[in-house]
Amino acid sequence: MVEERLKFVVPGDDPPQIQGSPHLDRLKPYGDLDLYLDRPQSMAEQLKRVEGAHVILNTRGAVKWFAPALQALPDLRLIATCSIGVDSYDIEAARACGVAITNQPGRTAAVVAEHIIGLMFATAKRTAFQTGELKAGRWTLKQNVTLSGKTLGVVGTGNVGREVVRVAKLLGMRCLAWTFNPSPQRAQDLGVEFVEFDELLRESDVVSLHVRLSDESQNLMGAREFELMKPGALFINAGRGGLVDTPALIDALHSEHLAGAGLDVFDQEPLPPDHPILACEQVVLTPHLADQTPEGIELLNEGAVSNTIAFLEGRPQNIVT
């Protein structure tokens, strides 16, 4: 048990995630919590909220922590993410400032994979388009896509990609995979064939992205890559918006080279009302909430608090810095 009373801050729980969580009570023996329900509107407000904080619990990357902010917080020891990704943080700057960052790899993989499979079905069955037509008073018959027996190309075989492969195989789909670090053992464990990226694009009826966003993966899918995909193929992205050259995706949809896309992430979030992806006919869109079910939120809140307590008690886990 730590003797010093610590200051915990949730700098912006927007959209609501951790407010009211019973897991926050587990922090009471260690210190006091300041919880803000809205996002700070400026860097000055952001820093004011966390002044003197020892631990920041950050929900869904609502507040970003890069070098200037980290350098202004001499008391900060830990940022515990209530999420999986860490692209809202400057990892090198945090390391230089002596700030640990914890995340929760794989914790909601099954929840996210279920959403991805749902996007794939909704895109294949054109549910958004058909619903829109019926609401407009039109009885439009446009053929759907059968998934059983088709080839799914899984780009990235981490925790989520693995679960998507497992479920897709149960649906009768053949699975190809690509990753930055393939190995025969990983292929055997997953029961998939690793192929070159271009081959995956050419052979897949559905391509789904699961790699993390990095300098290496930025704009992984561009005009060339979409052109390599089969005419009539489907594209799914619940990874990060920065993995995709959005204008190239929009061109592929408008030209009908792609039959549709299911997206949970975007190059701009929140998605502005005039974003050109909204003018595409065959898209299914959700607002970056693949893990936002009651079960998923509970897993993430519990994980963030458990990571925090483990760190304070000298047994750090899931440290990314």
> Is residue 240 annotated as a catalytic residue, yes or no?
yes
> Is residue 163 annotated as a catalytic residue, yes or no?
no
Residue 111 φ/ψ region, left for φ over 0, alpha for ψ in the -120 to 50 degree band, beta for the rest: alpha
Q: Which residues contact 18 (CB under 8 A, 6 or more apart)?
A: 10, 24, 35, 57, 59, 82, 301, 304
> Is residue 298 annotated as a catalytic residue, yes or no?
no
Amino acid of residue 297: I
| Pair 53, 80: CB distance under 8 Å | no
- Catalytic residue, candidates 54, 126, 162, 288: 288
Buried b (16+ CB within 10 A) or exposed e, 165-177: bebbeeeebbbbb
* Residue 38 burial class via C-beta count within 10 angstroms: exposed 0-12, middle 13-18, buried 19 and up: exposed
Angle between helices 109-124 and 159-170 (to 10 degrees): 50
| Consecutive H or E run containing 100 | strand 100-102
- Catalytic residue, candidates 51, 256, 269, 281: 269
- Catalytic residue, candidates 23, 54, 162, 240: 240
Q: How far apart are CA 187 and CA 144, in angstroms?
A: 31
| Pair 226, 254: CB distance under 8 Å | no
What is the set of active-site residues?
A: 240, 269, 288
